[in-house]
Amino acid sequence: MEQLQENIKKTADLLERSSHTVVLTGAGVSTESGVPDFRSPGSGLWTMLDPELFTIQGFKANPKAFYEGGTQFVRMLGEAEPNEGHTVLAELEKRGLVKAVITQNVDGLHQKGGSKKVLEIHGTLSTASCMLCSRQVSIEEVAADVEEGLLPPLCVECGEPLKPDVVLFGEPLSPDYKEAMEEARKADLIMVVGSSMQVSPANQLPAYCDNLVIINRTPTFYDQQARVVVNESTARVMRLLLEELDKRK
């Protein structure tokens, strides 16, 4: 506990001295909202679903199987609520201590938790688009079709399958990635929150900054060069960090 408090104080010091802090988040920031990560043994998404279904080739070959496999996950995301990891980051942005959140997540919980500048480098599950004519619809419209048994949901304009606007394996990252690189280059502090930093090219972003704070349950590639490493629950750490900052007012 003493070491944790010391790390919290160091993180608060770095935040207060920084003029441009950027936060990079991964699946670990949402697990306490009931959203599974991808790789945890026994509970990760890839232990429940076939990753091949979530390649762009898999989607094109069998969009019905994609929706059959992914519907439960989408329903789970729709029921998820932000946890303290999300809401504290939104509060830090409100106070001017965080300039942007770059997220690998597609669950929309940062926005739901109050964050304003969120760069979704792996896309979003809030909309879906036709792969032929690019017509975009809300995910609620897609969900309604799925509930009625329309698998896959089809574009009303051209009859082609609608694909959620998430980045599948084999696709380029979303346009937000370019702005994410610009934010990482401007940053004088990058906080990695809830990411194991195993997925490329998102794991290249911390390399743009010399000042790193890593808050993640398990070790990451960047731990040795980070100023602070905290292997704890992200929600708990963010709550303690806000409490430490409040003491300094």
List all residues 6 or more positions away from 64 whose beta carbon is below 8 Å from its beta carbon: 151, 152
Q: How far apart are CA 160 and CA 83, in angstroms?
A: 37
Which of 20, 86, 110, 122 is the catalytic position? 122
- Phi/psi-derived region of residue 108, left when phi > 0, alpha when psi is between -120 and 50, beta in every other case: left
Q: Is 110 a catalytic residue?
A: no
Closest to 56 (Cα-Cα) out of 171, 181, 223, 200: 171
Cis bond before residue 36 (omega within 30° of 0): no
- 143-157: burial string, b at 16+ Cβ within 10 Å, e else: bebbeeeebbbebee
Integer CA distances (angstroms), 119 to 111, 175, 187, 202, 220, in order: 10, 9, 15, 12, 22
List all residues 6 or more positions away from 147 whose beta carbon is below 8 Å from its beta carbon: none
Are the C-beta atoms of residues 100 and 90 closer than 8 Å to each other? no
Side-chain half-sphere exposure of 244, counting CA atoms within 13 A? 19
Catalytic sites, residue numbers: 122
